[in-house]
Amino acid sequence: MSVQEVGGFGMDLFYNFFSENFIPHGHCYLWKPELVSLHILSDVIIALSYYSIPLTLVYFVRKRKDVPFRNIFLLFGAFIISCGTTHIVEVWTLWHPVYWLSGTIKAFTAIISFYTALTLIPLVPLALALPSPAQLEAANKALQEENIERKRVEQELREYKEHLEELVKQRTTELAKANEHLQQEIIQRQESQDKMAQLLKKVESANKELNDFAYVVSHDLKAPLRGIASLSEWLLADYAEQFDEQGREFVNLLINRVQKMYNLIDGILEYSRVGRLQEESRQVNLNKVVADVIDILSPSENIQIQIANKLPIVYCEKTRIEQVFQNLLSNAIKFIDKPQGQILIDCTEDNDYWQFSVADNGLGIEKQYFERIFQIFQKLSSNKDDSTGIGLALVKKIVEMYDGKVWVESEVGQGSTFFFTLKK
């Protein structure tokens, strides 16, 4: 086919496309004005409505950048515009029978419609998966409630924070006052410690002076007593034949009184030493201590001393505990008036203490004297014996030094039981 022939075919096609050799559409309506006007008005209104819809869709899509499936909106716009155009062409063909152009526009509309339908089908499940307005409303309501709850919690947290800040401020003020008070107490305590240190120095000095005084007094008092005792013994030795029985009795009484004075001085010294002069505390086996004391006292054959239970090992000063048992046992031996004397030493265990007892079957003590006998220089016996009235007072002082206590239970004629406790 030559170029001229191709050109001729193109011209023929263009001519046929816009050819008006057909009968206008208006002939079908017999050019009745009413019917023609009805079709014109209907097609124009439909076309204008179609054209307005894409404009609205384009405006909506441009304003809402987050709208899903934006392409389908554009396809719908193209489809609706092509549909509107077909109605405009319908009006045009009433006078101009360009049916090829009209068919072509319809074909274009058909293509767009078909493509839009194909595109829409796979989007239906995705569109169905989108939340419905009711779901969105429910979610929005839940978000609003959550927002209200969050604001409430924030308000409570704000109030709690303010309360905590107030508490911190209050506690800080209290701590500042307590710290100030503590500083004052520290100063007062330091002053008290300084005063105590000064008092301790004075007490140490006084104790030293008291010890020196005690030894000086002991020496000064014992020196003339030794002279009196020696002189009395010389008188009995050298002039025994010149004394009658009464004279010898007086001299022996003098020697006895001198010995009592010796014992009294020694007792006062021992009493004054308790609590001032301390030896090293250690574990002391009381079974051995009591055995040694009994051996020293050497009771007569008619007096039996028994130990009911095995005595414990205690932590104390050995000399002090020896003094306790020596005084209690010597008192028991001294005041037994029965032909067969019995002394029982016993020990029982308490939660925090050991409780010791020394029981005898001697004279016994009246109840009214239970407290008096533990006072210094207080005694119930006559002055004919060598008792100084210091022994039980010394026992009480030593026991109380170890946070213990001492007491007596007795019946006249039935004997006495002296109890004392020592901390474990």
The 3-class SS string of the chain reads: CCHHHHHHHHHHHHHHHCCCCCCCHHHHHCCCHHHHHHHHHHHHHHHHHHHHHHHHHHHHHHHCCCCCCHHHHHHHHHHHHHHHHHHHHHHHCCCCCCHHHHHHHHHHHHHHHHHHHHHHHHHHHHHHHCCCHHHHHHHHHHHHHHHHHHHHHHHHHHHHHHHHHHHHHHHHHHHHHHHHHHHHHHHHHHHHHHHHHHHHHHHHHHHHHHHHHHHHHHHHHHHHHHHHHHHHHHHHHHCHHHCCHHHHHHHHHHHHHHHHHHHHHHHHHHHHHCCCCCCCCEEEEHHHHHHHHHHHHCCCCCEEEEECCCCCEEEECHHHHHHHHHHHHHHHHHCCCCCCEEEEEEEEECCCEEEEEEEECCCCCCHHHCCHHHCCCCCCCCCCCCCCCCHHHHHHHHHHHCCCCEEEEEECCCEEEEEEEEEC
Least confident of 9-18, 209-218, 334-343: 9-18
Residue 98 pLDDT: 80
Residue 404 pLDDT: 92
- Average model confidence (pLDDT) for the chain? 79
Confidence band of 19 (pLDDT split at 50, 70, 90): low
Q: Which of these, 413, 257, 398, lies nearest to 335 by C-alpha position?
A: 413
The domain ranges of the chain are: 3-130, 279-423
Q: 279-423, superfamily in CATH?
A: Histidine kinase-like ATPase, C-terminal domain (3.30.565.10)
Confidence band of 27 (pLDDT split at 50, 70, 90): confident
Mind listing the pLDDT tens digit for each residue in 52-94?
A: 877 877 777 777 776 666 677 777 778 888 888 888 888 888 8
Give Cβ neighbours of residue 4 (< 8 Å, ≥ 6 apart). Answer: none
Q: Which of these, 290, 344, 299, lies nearest to 322 by C-alpha position?
A: 290
Region 154-176: mean pLDDT is: 88
Tokens of 73: 């909106």
Residue 225 pLDDT: 63
Least confident of 176-180, 196-200, 245-249: 245-249
Residue type, 158: R
Tokens of 339: 């032909």
Residue 396: CB atoms within 10 A of its CB come to: 22
Which of 80-94, 155-169, 195-209 tops mean pLDDT? 155-169
Confidence band of 383 (pLDDT split at 50, 70, 90): very low
Mind listing the pLDDT tens digit for each residue in 177-198?
A: 888 888 888 988 888 888 888 8
pLDDT of residue 300 exceeding 50, the answer is: yes
Q: How far apart are CA 117 and CA 229, in angstroms?
A: 149
Residue 2 pLDDT: 47
Q: Note whether 279 and 319 are within 8 A (CB).
A: yes
Rg (the chain; Cα; Å) = 66
Residue 399 pLDDT: 92
Residue type, 212: D
Least confident of 96-110, 265-279, 311-325: 265-279
Confidence band of 32 (pLDDT split at 50, 70, 90): confident
Residue 303 pLDDT: 92
Q: How far apart are CA 98 and CA 85, in angstroms?
A: 14
pLDDT of residue 268 exceeding 80, the answer is: no
Region 375-400: mean pLDDT is: 70
Strand 341-349 relative to strand 303-307, pairing = parallel
What share of the chain in percent tops pLDDT 70? 76
Residue 8 pLDDT: 47
Q: How far apart are CA 33 and CA 128, in angstroms?
A: 49
Q: Which residues of 85-113 are buried (b: 16+ CB within 10 A; e: fewer)?
A: bbbbbbbbbbebbbbebbeebbeebeebb
pLDDT of residue 250 exceeding 90, the answer is: no
pLDDT of residue 274 exceeding 70, the answer is: no
Tokens of 41: 């008005």
Mind listing the pLDDT tens digit for each residue in 277-289?
A: 566 788 999 999 9
Least confident of 125-134, 205-214, 329-338: 205-214
**Global confidence as pTM:** 0.44
Residue 188 pLDDT: 87
**Residue given tokens 């905590």 in the structure block:** 164
Residue 3 pLDDT: 42
Least confident of 116-130, 227-241, 270-284, 296-310: 270-284
Least confident of 193-197, 264-268, 350-354: 264-268
Residue 356 pLDDT: 95
Residue 269 pLDDT: 62
